């Protein structure tokens, strides 16, 4: 008996059985509409394609479909919309930090400020040295070498998600270590 794959929500029951054919059909049916939605939000076609690809990879690899209780179509639309807005937020943060960094580079510090900055630099280096080796390496490649997550992933032969995880962990630990250093 041939299964009916025309209704996107009908695919959900097949997905819950980890049916790769159902996932493939879902991907083929939904990717273009999700791409258009993502592209309309972030105004970057390459990033929109990556975003939709990541959504489907996470959806399958993490078996997110098992948690979908209502409309699969509504879930996918909401997920791609959330990913797009998160992307915009991250891009805004990167631009803001980049402008701040440029402003700081143009600023001429007083001798006292230079001493404070040197001490802060030492505190940061000490905090980085306390990180796990891979987290420290990924952190340096991203923030010091200015490499993208994709470039780091390729160089270290790890996934972009692993790169993000190392950076998130490193930032969290650095914040804690620098707060402690500031109190002392």
pTM for this one?
A: 0.50
CATH 3.40.50.720 assigned to 8-89? no
pLDDT of residue 184: 64
Other Cβ atoms closer than 10 A to 131 = 20
The pLDDT profile of the chain, 184 residues, written as one tens digit per residue, is 333 435 777 778 788 888 898 888 888 888 899 999 999 999 989 999 999 999 999 888 888 777 777 788 888 899 999 999 999 888 888 888 888 878 777 767 788 888 887 888 888 888 899 999 999 999 999 988 999 999 999 999 999 999 999 999 999 998 888 888 767 6
Which residues of the chain are in CATH 1.10.1740.10 domains? 8-89
> What 8-state DSSP symbol labels residue 131?
S
- Which of 6, 76, 74, 68 has the alpha carbon at shortest distance from 35? 76
Fold type of domain 109-183: Arc Repressor Mutant, subunit A (1.10.10)
Output 3-9 pairs: Cβ under 8 A, ≥24 positions apart. Answer: 5/29, 8/72, 8/73, 9/71, 9/72, 9/73
Residues in the chain, total:
184
């Amino acid at each position: 008996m041939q299964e009916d794959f025309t209704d996107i929500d009908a695919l959900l029951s097949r997905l819950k059985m980890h049916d790769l054919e159902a996932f493939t059909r879902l991907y083929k049916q939904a990717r273009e509409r999700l791409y258009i939605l993502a592209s309309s939000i972030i105004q970057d076609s390459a990033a929109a394609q990556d975003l939709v690809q990541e959504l489907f990879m996470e959806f399958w690899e993490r078996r997110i479909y098992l948690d979908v209780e209502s409309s699969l179509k509504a879930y996918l639309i909401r997920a791609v919309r959330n990913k797009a807005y998160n992307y915009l937020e991250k891009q805004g943060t990167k631009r803001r930090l980049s402008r701040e960094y440029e402003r700081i580079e143009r600023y001429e510090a007083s001798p006292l400020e230079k001493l404070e900055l040197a001490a802060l630099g030492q505190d940061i280096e000490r905090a980085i040295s306390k990180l796990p080796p891979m987290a420290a390496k990924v952190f340096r490649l991203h923030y010091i070498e200015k490499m993208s997550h994709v470039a780091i992933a390729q160089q270290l032969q790890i996934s972009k998600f692993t790169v993000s995880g190392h950076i998130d962990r490193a930032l969290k630990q650095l914040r804690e270590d620098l707060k402690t250093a500031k109190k002392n």
